[in-house]
Amino acid sequence: MRFFTALRTHAAVLALPVTGLFFAYVFFTTKGRISHFASLPWPAEAVSYAIHAPVPLAAAAAAGLAAVEATRLRALGVWEMGPARSALRVAVQPILVVVLTSATLIAGITAGTLLIVGVAPDVYVLHLFGMVLVLLTAHAAIGFLIGRRLHALYSAPLVSLAVFIGISYPLGTSSWWAHHVTGAVGLMAFGEAYSLPMTIAAVLPTVCLALALIVAIGPRRLRVGAVAVSLVIAGSGLLGAYGITREWTSFAPAANGLAPVSCEGGVPEVCMPAVGSGDLEGMQTALSGMTTKLRAKAIIAEIPTRITDITVSSTRRPDTAGKEWTLDLAAGSSDGVSWEDVAIAVVGMPCKNPDWNTLHYGTLWAARTMGVADDYLAWLTRESQSFRTGDSKEQLLAEMDRVSSLPLSEQQTWYVEQLRLSCEGGRTG
C-alpha cells in the first residue's frame, strides 16, 4: 500500500479531527499561564510547561491508535502474505503515520507556545522535541505489537490507559527516581534544558520495553528463548534508568547556566539575563547606592563585589552572605523589582525560628535605609492582613522615627539588638 493511500484509511488520520480538537482545548486552557513566560522568555522553559500534560496523552493516543491499525491490517490478511512482505516493512509505515500525527499535535502546541512567548525555537527546544519523538515512536511500536496479537476492541483502550497511567502515576509518588524514568516531560527553569543523563533516563525504559516486545512477540511464533531475552532487555532498561536517577530529588540535574548574561561593571558588578536586563546601568546605580547606605549603618558587613540575578545564578535562592550576592531582581517582570524581597534577603534569617513581629522592625529598618520602606510596608500589609496580627503600622513607623533620631552608633546597636530579640522570644514592649 502506498504511503499517501494509507494516510486516507489510517486510524490515526481518521481520528485527527477529534484528537486535534482535544489537544487544542488542552492548549487553550493553559494559554493564560504560558503568556507569563513572555516577560522573561526562555524557549525550553515555556515549551516544557506547555507539553508537560499533553505528552502522556499523545503517547496514550499513539499506542491505542497503533493497536487499532495493527488489528485492521490483520483483518485485511496482511500478516498472512508470508514472505511476500516482511513483518518489518508491514509495521514501519503504519507506525510512522501514528508518530507523525501524534508529533504534529505536540508540534502544534510547541509552535503556539513559542508564538505566545515571542521567541523562536532553539537547539534546546529541538532536543526536547526529539526526545518526545523517540518516546512517541516507542509507544506506537508497543501498541502496534500488542494490537497485532490482541484485538483492538479491548487491547487499544487497555494499552492507552496503561501508557497514560504508566507515565503519569509515578509523578504523584514519593519515589523521586520514578518521576524521571517514565518519559514525562520535566519542567525546566529559566536558563535550563534537558541534560544528557535526564534524556537517557527518560527514554531508556520505554525504548527497551518496545525492543523487548519486538523480540518477544514480533516473530510469527512465540519462543521461550525470545521471551527470556525480552525480559532481560526490559529489565536492563529499567535498571539502567534507576541507576542514573536513584540519587536524584524531585528536581533532576538539568543543564543550567545556558542563558546569555549581561553585566554592568562597578561596585558592585550587577549581572542579569541579557533578555531581561532592561536598564542594567540604572539597576547597578540603584544597588550601588543601596549597598553603600547599608554598609554605612552596619546592616551588612561588607559591600558585595557582584550581585547576580537568581535566574542566572548557580545559587537558585537569595543569598547575601560574603562578597557575591544572589538576589531576585525580577528581571523582565512588568511589575519591576520586588524591592521588599531584596530587603528581606539582606536581613535574612538570624536564627532558625525568629519571632516575626520583632524581625519586622529590623527588616523595615533595612528597607528604610535602602529607600524602599513603602514597598516593604505594602508587602507587610498584604501578608499580615492589614496588620490585624502583630504590631500596628503606626507602632513600626513610630519606632523607625525614634531610631532615626539616635546617633549612628546607637542605630547600629539597636539593629543588632532587634535581631537578637527576634531569636529570644521577641520584644517586650
Q: Which of 292, 314, 336 is the last residue of a domain?
A: 336
How many domains, the chain?
3
Q: Which three cell numbers stand for residue 23?
A: 489537544
| Claim to verify: residue 322 and residue 413 sit in the same structural domain | no
Range(s) of the domain holding residue 427:
338-429
Residue 235, domain member (yes or no): yes
Q: Which of 336, 369, 389 is the last residue of a domain?
A: 336
* pTM (predicted TM-score): 0.83
Strand order in the sheet with 261-264: 261-264, 269-273, 306-309, 324-327
pLDDT digits (tens, 9 = 90+) for 217-236: 776 677 788 889 999 999 99
Q: Which of 281, 308, 336 is the last residue of a domain?
A: 336
Please give the pLDDT value at position 178: 93
| Claim to verify: residue 63 and residue 174 sit in the same structural domain | yes
pLDDT digits (tens, 9 = 90+) for 54-68: 999 999 999 999 999
Measure Cα distances from 237 to 78, 134, 214, 222, 241 in Å: 32, 15, 14, 22, 6
Residue 253, domain member (yes or no): no
| Claim to verify: residue 320 and residue 373 sit in the same structural domain | no
Name the phi and psi angles at 313, rounded to 5. -100, 150
| Claim to verify: residue 35 and residue 175 sit in the same structural domain | yes
Residue 254, domain member (yes or no): no
Cα separation of 177 and 18, whole Å? 35
Q: Name the one residue in this structure whose C-alpha cell is 557582584.
A: 306
What is the three-class DSSP state of 113? helix
| Claim to verify: residue 350 and residue 323 sit in the same structural domain | no
The alpha helices in 150-220, defined as continuous H runs, are: 152-168, 176-179, 196-217
Torsion of CA 286, 288, 290, 292, to 10 degrees: -160
pLDDT digits (tens, 9 = 90+) for 92-139: 888 999 999 999 999 999 999 999 999 999 999 999 999 999 999 999
Residue 78, domain member (yes or no): yes
